[in-house]
């Protein structure tokens, strides 16, 4: 389960921006669009969220930041050699930030335990890495490393809550790799399951996603593994016709796996090649307690204002991105605005009441 994700000094993100899946405590709609956070009775987590914003406002960069963090975790131990460089792009419109590391932090829940994990790095070096666990509802720092530029070495801290051969694993860690990734390769049960969360529970479909199935693979997979609900979506369609059908079949596998296994599915530009009714159906299934019995979560970026309907999403499920005066991305929630209960969210957004809409100059001006 995803609780929060934060990013700083990465592509269009300058200052730290935080995306949250914590439901609002005030009544903003249907409780069916959220579920209780394990071991925290006072908080609930959202089943879905939609992110709006004009082109080049940073929507895709939010997904890309999550994907980059996941990739670094999965590849730093086995895919990077000493001296290799990460493809990290800091905020380039400020000279001071070009020389600062990028920072990623994620808060998530696995096996009913909340974890807060993050790191800062540039193309050549990890400067900080930390993991805080809440096994009994109280914070325990399991490990932390900080690079000291004067001594050109790391300060390490290991908490008593973290078991295993910590000192031996520390010897494998390179300047450009993560302790979490190396620990997972050495099979400590505590950190191994966190690595598996990144690899199997956090699923992302970027906007430039390439279809991985062939026509024959689709027929085989659908006929044996896909649910009855998915058949309803594709019934009557010819697999050789459109990009939309291909995208639907590709997303369908991730969609069903997420619902069946309680995974997180993040899709950039959900409306790409998909009809609004199909996209709406995908979102509603995550908000449907009968269909989503394992507390799966869906996050999408989109331009489709059809989803700005109180029968689909609540106010706390709607997020926006827009560029500020310094051309950096600001990420904010619809909760930041006073919205009347009878107000049309779609009309309010299109009129620019919440920001995050393109400024169009007339062709005749």
pLDDT in tens, 201-219: 999 998 765 444 433 344 4
- pLDDT category at 278 given cuts 50, 70, 90 is confident
Please provide the DSSP assignment of 91-117 as one string.
--SSHHHHTSPEEEEEEEEETTEEEEE
| The pLDDT value given to residue 192 | 93
Residue-wise pLDDT for 79-116, tens only, equals 777 778 999 999 999 999 999 999 999 999 999 999 99
| The pLDDT value given to residue 235 | 56
Of the CA atoms within 13 Å of residue 241, those in its CB half-sphere come to 9
Pick the closest to residue 86 from 69, 99, 100 (CA basis): 69
Architecture of domain 1-358: 3-Layer(aba) Sandwich (3.40)
| The pLDDT value given to residue 220 | 37
Q: CA dihedral in degrees (15, 19, 23, 26; nearest 10)?
A: 30
H-helix or E-strand spanning residue 349: helix 345-350
Q: What is the pTM of this model?
A: 0.90
pLDDT of 222 strictly over 50: no
Who wins on pLDDT, 333 or 229?
A: 333
Could you count the other beta carbons within 10 Å of the beta carbon of residue 69? Answer: 23
Q: What is the mean pLDDT of residues 226-250?
A: 60
Give me the percent of the chain exceeding a pLDDT of 90.
70
What is the average pLDDT value for the chain, to the nearest integer?
87
Match 């070009």 to its residue by tokens: 98
């Amino acid at each position: 389960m995803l609780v929060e994700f934060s990013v700083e000094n990465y592509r269009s993100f300058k200052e730290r921006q935080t995306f949250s899946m914590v439901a609002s405590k005030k009544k903003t709609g249907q409780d069916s669009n959220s579920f209780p956070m394990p071991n925290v009775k006072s908080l609930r987590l959202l089943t879905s969220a939609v992110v709006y914003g004009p082109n080049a406002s940073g929507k895709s960069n939010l997904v890309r930041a999550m994907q980059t963090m996941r990739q670094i975790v999965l590849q730093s131990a086995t895919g990077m050699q000493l001296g290799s460089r990460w493809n990290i792009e800091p905020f380039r419109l400020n000279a001071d930030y070009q020389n600062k590391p990028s920072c990623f932090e994620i808060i998530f829940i696995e096996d009913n335990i909340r974890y807060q994990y993050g790191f800062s790095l540039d193309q050549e070096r990890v400067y900080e890495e930390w993991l805080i666990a809440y096994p009994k509802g109280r914070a325990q720092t399991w490990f932390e490393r900080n690079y000291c530029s004067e001594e050109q070495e790391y300060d390490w801290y290991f908490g008593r809550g973290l078991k295993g051969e910590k000192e031996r694993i520390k010897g494998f860690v390179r300047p450009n790799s993560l302790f979490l990734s190396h620990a997972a390769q050495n099979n400590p049960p505590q950190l191994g399951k966190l690595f598996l969360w990144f690899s199997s529970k956090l699923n992302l479909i970027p906007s430039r996603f390439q279809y991985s199935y062939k026509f024959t693979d689709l027929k085989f997979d659908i006929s044996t593994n896909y649910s009855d609900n998915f058949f309803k979506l594709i019934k009557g369609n010819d697999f050789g016709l459109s990009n939309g059908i291909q995208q639907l079949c590709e997303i369908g596998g991730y969609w069903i796996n997420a619902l069946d296994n309680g995974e997180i599915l993040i899709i950039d530009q959900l409306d790409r090649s998909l009809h609004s009714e199909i996209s709406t159906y995908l979102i509603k299934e995550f908000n449907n307690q009968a269909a989503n019995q394992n507390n799966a979560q869906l996050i999408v970026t989109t331009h489709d204002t059809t989803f700005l309907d109180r029968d689909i999403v609540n106010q706390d499920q709607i997020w926006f991105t827009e560029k500020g005066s310094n051309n950096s991305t600001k990420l904010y929630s619809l909760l930041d605005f006073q919205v009347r209960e009878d107000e049309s969210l779609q009309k309010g957004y299109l009129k620019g009441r919440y920001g995050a809409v393109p400024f169009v100059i007339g062709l005749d001006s």
